[in-house]
């Protein structure tokens, strides 16, 4: 094995271990919002490292090719842009499911939307207990 192949192998092992750790963390996550947030290290670091390792392998076998560099840059940029937008929408939709709030037109006019009110049990969750 050449020095370049050893570096590529180490990068791929690191990316694979990050993916494995993320999968184990997803298994143990308590709720869906936490699971969606746990995908960040894999999408933001491990997958670009795999693309970069492939690029290094191509360069070590066939030499420098500018179009390969351009394709890798476009792939990494596209991956990060699509991942950030998709995790934003997943997080918003999961948050809306976990904390449903019906916003009426009247609540929008008066500015009463988004404020914590009394819970269904009749006790206000934000204020301290007056009997204590």
The answer to whether 37 and 90 have CB atoms below 8 angstroms apart is no
Q: Which two tokens stand for residue 57?
A: 């392998």
pLDDT tops 60 at residue 97: yes
For the chain, which residues make up each domain, given as ranges?
3-110
Residue 52 confidence (pLDDT)? 96
What 3-state DSSP class applies to 86? Answer: helix
Q: DSSP labels for 18-74?
A: HHHHHHHHHHH-SSHHHHHHHTHHIIIIIHHHHHHHHHHHHHHHH---HHHHHHHHH
Q: What is the pTM of this model?
A: 0.67
The phi, psi pair for 45, rounded to 5°, reads -120, -50
Interval 100-116: pLDDT, tens: 666 667 777 787 666 65
What 3-state DSSP class applies to 125? Answer: coil
Interval 27-83: pLDDT, tens: 998 888 888 888 888 888 999 999 999 999 999 999 999 999 999 999 999 999 998
Nearest in space to 56 (alpha carbons), one of 7, 2, 1: 7
Residue 103 confidence (pLDDT)? 67
């Amino acid at each position: 094995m050449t020095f370049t192949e050893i570096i590529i192998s180490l990068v791929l092992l690191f990316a694979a271990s990050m993916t494995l750790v993320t999968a184990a963390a997803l298994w143990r996550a308590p709720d869906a919002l936490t699971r969606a947030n746990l995908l960040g290290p894999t999408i933001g670091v491990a997958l670009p490292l795999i693309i970069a390792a492939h690029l290094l392998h191509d360069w070590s076998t066939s030499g420098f090719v500018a179009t390969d560099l351009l394709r890798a840059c476009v792939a990494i940029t596209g991956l990060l842009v699509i991942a950030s937008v998709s995790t934003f929408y997943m997080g918003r939709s999961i948050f809306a499911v976990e904390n449903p709030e019906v916003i009426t037109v009247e609540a929008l006019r008066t500015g009463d939307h988004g404020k914590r009110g009394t819970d269904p049990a009749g006790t206000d969750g934000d204020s301290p207990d007056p009997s204590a």
